Amino acid sequence: MQSPSVQSETELLRRLRAGDEQAFVFLVGRYSDSMLRVASAYVPSRAVAEEVVQDTWLAVLRGLDGFQGRSSLRTWLFTILVNRARTTGTREHRSFPIADTTPVVDASRFGPDGSWTSPPEQWIEEAEDRLAANRIADLLRAALDSLPPRQREIVTLRDVEGMSSEEACQVLGITEANQRVLLHRGRSKLRQILEAELRGVR
Amino acid sequence: MKLPYGLSQGDTRYDIVCQQAVEMVTDYIEDTLDRVNRQRYEKHLSVCDHCNEYLAQMRETIRLAGHLTPDDLSPEMRDAFTDVFRRWREED
């Protein structure tokens, strides 16, 4: 997804501060889906995630006058969201799977010498066809939703929202190294799901 | 100390195997491999079609995720958010 350019962001902020409801509707439509996905990593239900997102929007509006633009509007938005979701959430979030050394591809797919015995199956062409025909969104959404919360969150920020690793680390308050471990596991799992869903359908 | 990618300590072998390559793929894409490991990974790619396919699939996975457009909000949520906005506008 494309983030609004700096120029359009300045314009959006100006309109929001002036109380322009259309500007707010645009922003809500653009970010709420990813915000819900990220909030869900911290809270027990969709209903609570919706409350967190709603609270975040109010906090954003109330904070508009104080927003200096030192970070992008998006970074600021997601930072508020994550802080609120953490405060609301009941789950433990201190433990990051830094020491998680489970292989990302099942060991049964390699022989004793570490070479593929069950190599990656072809699915890129099928995915491209479905993308061109707008028939892949539901599959992608279901695949993302099936990732473990921490991995879903980082894949949403990095790959769906297109944040840099620096921006994602800032939003989540995690180190680059932890970010990369989670990203590696999340992306690998997503690939695995796409392979399982799309292989052999041609 | 445990070395990354399943390399054991004192392992001086230059060549990596597929099972190590799949663990290096994100560091390769993110460009965070050190020089030696990048060379090891690229050398493996030069001889392994399957790992080339695997890398292409990881890139495709990222590309597809980037094409996901926001799901439409439910009418209830849109109304709730609009209420938030209108309440805020009255606050001043």
Domains of chain A are 6-88 (1.10.1740.10), 107-198 (1.10.10.10)
Pick A74 or B11 by higher pLDDT.
A74
Q: Search chain B and give the residue with CA nearest A17.
A: B89
pLDDT tens profile B62-82: 999 999 988 888 899 999 999
Q: Residue B1 has what pLDDT?
A: 31
User: A110 vs B19: CB contact, 8 Å cut-off?
Assistant: yes
pLDDT over threshold 80, residue A202 = no
- Stated length of chain A: 202
Write down the pLDDT at residue A8. Answer: 84
Give the one of B30, B70, B89 whose C-beta lies nearest to A34's C-beta: B70
Minimum mean pLDDT among A75-79, A98-102, A147-151, A193-197: which range? A98-102
Asked if A159's CB is within 8 angstroms of B26's CB, the reply is no
Chain B residues touching residue A19 (CB < 8 angstroms): 89
Q: What is the pLDDT of residue A2?
A: 52
> Mutate which of B18, B23, B28 to test chain A, going by most A C-beta atoms within 10 A?
B18
**B36 has a chain A CB within 8 A of its CB:** no
Contacts of B71 in chain A (CB under 8 A): 33, 141
Residue in A61, A187, A194 nearest the CB of B85: A61
Q: How far apart are CA A107 and CA A117, in angstroms?
A: 10
CA distance B20 to chain A (A): 8
Question: How many domains are there within chain B?
Answer: 1
**What is the residue range of B60's domain?**
4-91
Closest CA to A35 of A75, A5, A66: A75
Question: Both tokens of residue A175?
Answer: 């180190």
Interchain CB contact of B64 with A (< 8 Å): yes
Count the neighbouring beta carbons within 10 Å of the beta carbon of residue A93: 16
Instruction: Compute the average pLDDT of residues B20-42.
Output: 96
pLDDT band, residue A36 (cuts 50/70/90)? very high
Q: What is the mean pLDDT of residues B6-18?
A: 70
pLDDT recorded at residue B12: 60
pLDDT value at position A4? 56
For residue A169, give every residue at least 6 positions away whose Cβ sits within 8 Å of its Cβ, in sequence order, or none.
Answer: A175, A176, A179
Instruction: Report the pLDDT averaged over residues A79-103.
Output: 74
